Structure 1
Amino acid sequence: MSVELNHTIVGARDKQVSAEFFGTIFGLEVGEPAGPFVPVATANGVTLDFANVPEGAEIAPQHYAFLVSEEEFDAIFGRVQEAGLTYWADPARRREGEINRNDGGRGVYFLDPDGHYLEIITRPYGSGDPE
């Protein structure tokens, strides 16, 4: 059996709000709550299970990167812009309001409501010419 990522838990202040934000921006369906989680599944079957952190607890921001097609990039990036979200071309957040062209594709970073760093790319890193 090969090793595959099945799911990961995403800490949130309000799991429903965070799952709906993610589902809306990425154009994915938010699943029915399952125990303490609100799941959102990606096309390759990986589920992001949004869960509330304990009251008063800090959320440790995580980085979640998604490989998308050119068409999906256009749609997702359009929703990012429509929502008025700040976005960057780089993970250090120095190139605000730009996208990158790494490896001959396109990429952009933005934050979810809990400060998790979301990234969409159209080419895997190392697959082409760097910008």
Structure 2
Amino acid sequence: MSNPSKPWDGALVRKWLARRLDVSKLDQAAADRRGYEARDDYDKTAAEEWVCRALQAPDCTEEQTPFAQRLKALIGHEEYHATGVYDDVRFERHVRSHLRKVAKMAKANDGFEKMLHHQ
């Protein structure tokens, strides 16, 4: 499932999720201030926030296999509900996209060390 030379680091994954959650809140506020033309940016960052919140449970981040199973279960959902988004279809598309991104990172066990604002 991952590179055997690099062990799974649950603390690093939780730190990455917390950092991305904070960044998504800041980006949502910035998009909200920009107004109408930034609705897609707002929905995109709201989707990232939703994904990070859904994955922050410590019982699923300690080991790689439960984390991958949680991601697979979330990807299998039909709908993702959130209040305050502008377009539900666009929001759900962004949620699925972000879930796939994190799933690739989890499978490769790579990318969680990147803590920059923009990725």
Give the TM-score normalised by structure 2.
Answer: 0.29
Higher relative contact order (CA 8 A, sep 6+): 2
More helix per residue:
2
More strand per residue:
1
